[in-house]
């Protein structure tokens, strides 16, 4: 996990997190947080033996179900348990490079 302030690379953290990191660095009022880089998702996929390159709609459904049923790798689970989050937690899932010429507002 990476502190939000350090999440400046949209290829690793997605556009939302990198934009929030830039706003936070500029001193604007942004709630602080942590971000999981794409490498953590790849580690999750490897840990759960998920094929991230489905070739048809059936394999997409298998991947979706595998993600929902997947277990969090022990290292990530330990890091998450170590967070001091107070009484609020917000999670936003975002695809890397979800907006572009081919598509927009994917979330």
Residue-wise pLDDT for 9-33, tens only, equals 888 888 888 888 999 999 999 887 8
Asked if pLDDT for residue 99 goes beyond 80, the answer is no
Which of residues 16 and 96 earns the better pLDDT score?
A: 16
Instruction: List for the chain the helix, strand, coil content (%; round to 5).
Output: 45, 5, 50
Phi, psi of 60 (to 5 degrees): -65, -45
68 pLDDT above the threshold of 60: yes
Contacts (Cβ under 8 Å, ≥6 apart) of 80: 1, 72
Task: Give the 3-state secondary structure of residue 54.
Answer: coil
């Amino acid at each position: 996990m990476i502190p939000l302030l350090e999440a400046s690379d949209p290829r690793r953290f997605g556009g939302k997190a990198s934009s929030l990191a830039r706003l936070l660095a500029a001193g604007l009022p942004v709630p602080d947080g942590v971000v999981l880089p794409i490498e953590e998702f790849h580690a999750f996929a490897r840990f759960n033996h998920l094929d991230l390159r489905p070739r048809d709609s059936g394999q997409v459904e298998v991947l979706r179900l595998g993600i929902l049923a997947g277990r969090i790798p022990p290292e990530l689970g330990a890091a998450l348990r170590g967070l001091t989050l107070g009484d609020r937690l917000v999670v936003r899932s975002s695809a890397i490079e979800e907006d572009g010429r081919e598509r927009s507002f994917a979330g």
